[in-house]
Amino acid sequence: MKQHPKQNERLHHILDAFSRVTITVIGDLVADEFVLGEISRVSREAPVLILKHRERKIVPGGGANAICNLADLGVNVLPVGVVGDDEAGRTLIKAFRHKRIPVSGVLKDKSYPTITKSRILAGMSHTTGQQVVRLDREPSDPPNAHLRRELVLAARKYARASDAILVSDYGYGAASPEIVSAVKAKRGLENVPVMLDSRYRMLDYSNVAAATPNEPEVEELLGTRVGKDWQRLARAGEQLMNRMKLESLVITRGKDGMVVFCADRKPVDIPIYGSDEVTDVTGAGDTVIATYTAALAAGADAVEAAHLANLAGGIVVMKRGTATVTLDELKHAIERPLPPPRAH
């Protein structure tokens, strides 16, 4: 299928506008740690592998990954979140500074350990490591009242200069419905659209313009089972659109691509871009919400934004570990025909 020249030109115009877009991200900042070990032998103490340590790295994850995706797309990004006064927190701030991302909205607190997800990878010499276990280190409590006030103040300050607010809520409290509502309650910010990625409590947010849940999250929210039933999926999407009064909704479906809902047209079912034999899905949702938000803020309609988010998601799942998509990669991708929507 040959891509229409006008469509190609339109998508290029949207991508070229990314550099003129500013987005505030209110998010749970996560450090993704990867520890690679070479399989040595089976332990005599227990039926477990003994790994010889080979490599360790910490990269931005969660809301921090969404922030880095926006930066690598050429967007002016303003992060708001909390890290601890620890190695993981310092590493996240260093990563932001390396990408020239402002860090004045990132609060550092000694009583709040940085959320860290450690993945242990095992492999043989000259082979790719496979994840064998994950260890999560989390704060015992959400940010305290003082931190919450500071988060609201920082987000309000940034939002005044922003085209959109991206909320990356992993359930740790730095991007709660209460914080987002307090930010939006400030006079003058009513018209700044909020784009939401919330893992556990999407329905608790109000005044949201768009959201990008995955299919299992939708099933859990609505207490339904979609499976391969298009009518059930369409009803679930319409129910969320109505309950949350959304302008648009993207439901991601893994190897089945994504479906975009908007008020003025029927749902559009977009197949996955590229191969369905993915390398790593870690952080793919962060890439999708970042690209979708950037495209909408740059003037794209919901379907155009979903196509770009689908391309970005297809690119990032072919990379190992928590990764980002660059503007050049997206520009290269749109030179190829877009996956045509499925008919229903």
Helix axes 63-72, 284-297, angle to 10 degrees: 50
Q: Which residue has the tokens 């990356």?
A: 168
Query: What is the rounded distance in angstroms from the CA atom of residue 115 to the CA atom of residue 149?
Result: 20
C-beta separation of 291 from 306 below 8 A: no
C-beta separation of 287 from 324 below 8 A: yes
C-beta separation of 268 from 230 below 8 A: no
Q: Give kind and range of the element (H or E) at residue 311.
A: helix 302-316
Q: For the sheet with 76-84, list strands across it.
A: 106-109, 76-84, 22-27, 164-169, 194-198, 210-211, 248-252, 258-262, 265-270
CA dihedral 304, 306, 311, 313 (to 10 degrees): 160
Catalytically annotated residues: 286
| Strand ranges (E), 234-283 | 248-252, 258-262, 265-270
87 Cβ contact partners less than 8 Å away, ≥ 6 residues apart: 58
Among candidates 8, 14, 143, 174, which has minimal Cα distance to 79? 174
Among candidates 109, 116, 200, 101, which has minimal Cα distance to 149? 109
Query: What is the rounded distance in angstroms from the CA atom of residue 215 to the CA atom of residue 257?
Result: 10
C-beta separation of 215 from 251 below 8 A: yes
Instruction: Calculate the CA 114 to chain-centre distance.
Output: 18
Bridge partners, residue 130, by sequence: 122
Phi, psi of 132 (to 5 degrees): -115, -25
Bridge partners, residue 20, by sequence: none
